[in-house]
Amino acid sequence: MSDTSRDDERELVEQARRDPRQFGALYDRHFQQIYRFVYSRVREQTAAEDVTSEIFMKALKAMPRYQDTGRPFAAWLYQIAVNAIADRYRTMRPSQPLDDFHDLSVAGPALEDLAAHRDELRRIWGLVESLPHQQRTALVLKFQEDMKIEDIAVAMGKSPGAVKLLIHRGVSRLRDEADSLRPVE
């Protein structure tokens, strides 16, 4: 995020802190991102809608207590999202096939490599889903949501060092379990 848009966001957050009726601008700005993250975790539209509603309702109610820690506002929303998803789906695992969310048809490799590449991606993301909860969350926030480690730390309520450890352990475990991964040039 550029300094200008960060300043814009600070302004919006401050306005919403003073007057909750200004929260609409923050909702418009972050809805798509949060909904997409939630959907990627629950993979069912109705459930994604329920969890997203819960996240923004909690965020709105907590706005007067929000404190700017220098991290993006989205990191705070992700923190609420991570907790909401964990609360709601502690005993459940998404059932929809992986391809439905991760678009495996990446552009780039030659056609003959595409099928193998898709298989490899499918297998890796399948392994991500089988990782322990904390490792899985850290990897999804890093590689799918493209978040900075410090922001992931905010979202997961951990130190940046702990997040790095989770990512390292998660990727190492993927390597160990993906014996037959085929390198793609």
Partner 1 sequence: MNGHHDPELDDVLQDEELRRLATLLTSTMRPEPPLDDAFRSGLRRQLMQQAWDMGEGRPSLWRRIFAPPGLAWVGATAGLVLIAGLVVFYSTQQPGGLQQVVVQSPIDGSRAVALQQAILVNFNQAMDHPSTEAAVQISPATTVTYSWSSNTLAVQPASGILAPNTQYQVTIGSGAKTASGQSLSAAQTITFVTQPPAPPTPSPSPTPRAPATPSSLLTGEHQLAPLGGALATSTVQWSADSSTVYFVNSKGALDAVQAKGGDVSVVAPDGVSSAAIAPAGDRLAYIRGGRIEILTFAAGTTAELTATPAPTLVGWAKDKVIWAAADGVYSQAADGPARLAAMPTNGALKILSLAPDGTHAVYLQDLNLFLLDLTTAKSTQLGQANAAFFGWSPDGSQLMYSGTAGNIAIADVQGDSVGTVPTADASWSSQDAILLGSETDLYQAHPDGSNMTKLANGTYRLPIWAPNATAFTFFRGGLLWTASAPALPAVPSVLDQATTAVNTFMLARQKGQADPAAALLDSNGKQAYASGGLNLIINGDPFFSRFYVLTQAVTGTQPDAATFVVRLVLTHGKLDVADFEETLTVVRNPTTRQFLIDQATVGAHRDLGKGAEVVGVVAAADSVQVTFDSDLDPGTVADSMRVLDSKGRQLDATTSYANRTVTISGLGLKPGAQYKLVVLTTLRDVLGHNIAAEYDLQLVAPVAKTKADHKSGGVTASPAPASPSASPSPTASPS
Which residues of this chain interact with partner 1, rule CB under 8 A? 19-24, 27-28, 31-32, 35-36, 39-40, 45-50, 52-53, 56-57, 60-61, 64, 101-104, 106-109, 120-121, 124-125, 128, 139, 142-144, 146, 148-149, 164, 167-168, 171-172, 174-175, 178, 181, 183-185
Q: In this complex, which beta carbon is closest to partner 1, that of residue 68 or of residue 106?
A: 106
CB of 157 to partner 1, least distance (A): 19
CB of 93 to partner 1, least distance (A): 15
CB of 72 to partner 1, least distance (A): 15
CA distance 75 to 94: 23
- Two tokens at 104? 């495996």
Question: Are 66 and 13 within 8 A, CB to CB?
Answer: yes
CB of 117 to partner 1, least distance (A): 9
Q: How many CB atoms lie within 10 A of CB 107?
A: 5
Nearest to 185 by CA among 125, 124, 112: 112
DSSP code, position 144: I
Backbone angles phi, psi at 6, to 5 degrees: -65, -40
CA R_g for the chain: 18
CB of 172 to partner 1, least distance (A): 6
Q: In this complex, which beta carbon is closest to partner 1, that of residue 7 or of residue 134?
A: 134
Q: In this complex, which beta carbon is closest to partner 1, that of residue 75 or of residue 139?
A: 139
Q: In this complex, which beta carbon is closest to partner 1, that of residue 10 or of residue 169?
A: 169
Question: Are 126 and 112 within 8 A, CB to CB?
Answer: no
Q: In this complex, which beta carbon is closest to partner 1, that of residue 9 or of residue 39?
A: 39
Q: How far, in whole angstroms, is CA 51 from its chain's centroid? A: 14
